[in-house]
Amino acid sequence: MSLPRIAVDAMGGDEGVRVMVEGAALARRRHERFQFLLVGDETRIKAALDNHPNLRGASEVLHADDQISDDEKPSQAMRRAKTTSMGMAINAVKSGDAGAAVSGGNTGALMAIAKIALRTMPGIDRPALAALLPTLGDNDLVMLDLGANTECDSRNLVQFAVMGAAYSRVVTGRAVPRVRLLNIGTEEIKGTDSLQLAAAALKSTAEELSISFDGYAEANMLGNGNFDVVVTDGFSGNIALKAVEGTAKFVADLLKRSFRSSLRSKFGFLISRPATDLLRHHLDPNNHNGAVFLGLNGIVVKSHGGASAAGVANAVAVTARLLEENVTKRINADLERVGTNGLHLSRNGAVSS
C-alpha cells in the first residue's frame, strides 16, 4: 500500500528543478512506496525526469507558470499563491490531491501561504517550525520554534511543547518525551514572565500531556542528548539554530585546515579517517534536513534552500514519516486529552480547572 503522494515545489531551493527532482528520485529509490506530485515548470521538470526513470513512473507533473523568489515579501507571495509552484503545492494538500508538501523556497512565504490555506488546528493559536538536531545521545532533539513566530506568550510555548512532544514520539519512539524550555539559566527564577508561566503550566499538566518536564535548558546543553524536545520562541530559536550550524561548519573547516597543514597532519588524517568521516556525517546539515510546520491542518516541510539532492531526499523522507505516523492526528489527540481532563490554558499561561 502506497502513502498519500507528496507535492514537491520543484522550483524552490537555490538550484531549483535539478536538485529537487534528483532528491525526490533518491528518496524514491530508497522508499518505493513514495508517490509524487511535482509542481513547477512542466518542460524543465520533464527534462529532469528523463534522468530518473524510477521517479517518472511514480510522479505526476503539475505545471506552474511562476515561482516565489527568495526575497519576496510574504504578503506579496500570498496574493500569487494560485499561480506559483509553492502555492499550488500547498493547495494540493488543501484539496486532498497530496498528503503533504515539501519546498526549499522562501520560508516566510511558505509559512504565510500554508497558514492561510490549511489553517491552524483546533487548540493551536500559531503554527511552529520544528527541526531535528543531532545530539551525543541516542536521540535526535526536536527544537521549536525556529523562526515562524518571533514573539510568543506562555500559551504559545505550552502549545509548542504539545506539538514538539507529538513529533518526538514519532522520531524517537519514546512514549513520554523529555521536554525543556530554552532559557538563560536552569534556575527556576531565571527567564521572562512568559517562560516562568509556561514552565508552571507544563509542570502542572505534564502527566496529562504524557511528557516529562524537567524545567529549563541552556543553549550549551542542546547537544548532550539528555532531553528530547526544547521549546522557545522563534527569535531565540532561529539564533540558536544558526549558532549551532555555524559552530558545526567552523569545526569541520578547522579540522580540514588542520589536516592540510603539514605532511604529518596528512598522515594523521589517514589514520583517523574513519572517525573524521563519522564526524562529517554527523555535522552535515543535509543529513538532518527537513523542518516541519507543526499545528496546521496538513503537513508542510521546509527543505533548506542550499540542500543537496541527499538533503532534499532526507526532507522527503521526513515528510513521508510524518504522513505514515499521522502526526497531525497525534497532536489533535493530545490537545483533546488535555481538554477532556478539564485543563485550560488562559492567555497569560495560567492553568485553571
Where in the sequence of the chain do the CATH 3.40.718.10 domains occur? 6-118, 128-285+332-352
128-285+332-352 belongs to CATH 3.40.718.10: yes
Q: Would you say residue 53 has pLDDT above 70? A: yes
305 — pLDDT class (breaks 50, 70, 90): confident
% of residues, the chain, pLDDT over 90? 37
Q: Determine if the peptide bond prior to 145 is cis (ω within 30°).
A: yes
Q: Would you say residue 348 has pLDDT above 60? A: no
Do the Cβ atoms of 166 and 150 come closer than 8 Å? no
What is the signed CA dihedral for 241, 242, 247, 252, rounded to 10 degrees? 100
Q: Which of 36, 127, 128 is nearest to 312 (CA)?
A: 36
Q: What gap in Å lies between CA 305 and CA 67, rounded to an integer?
A: 14
What is the value of pTM for the model shown?
0.83
CATH number of 6-118: 3.40.718.10
Helix H or strand E segment including 132: strand 128-133
- pLDDT tens for 190-229 read 889 999 999 999 998 888 888 999 899 999 898 888 999 9
Q: Which residues contact 141 (CB under 8 A, 6 or more apart)?
A: 132, 133, 134, 135, 222, 223, 225, 227, 228, 229, 230
C-alpha cell at 182: 530554552
Largest pairwise CA distance in the chain: 70
Do the Cβ atoms of 102 and 7 come closer than 8 Å? yes
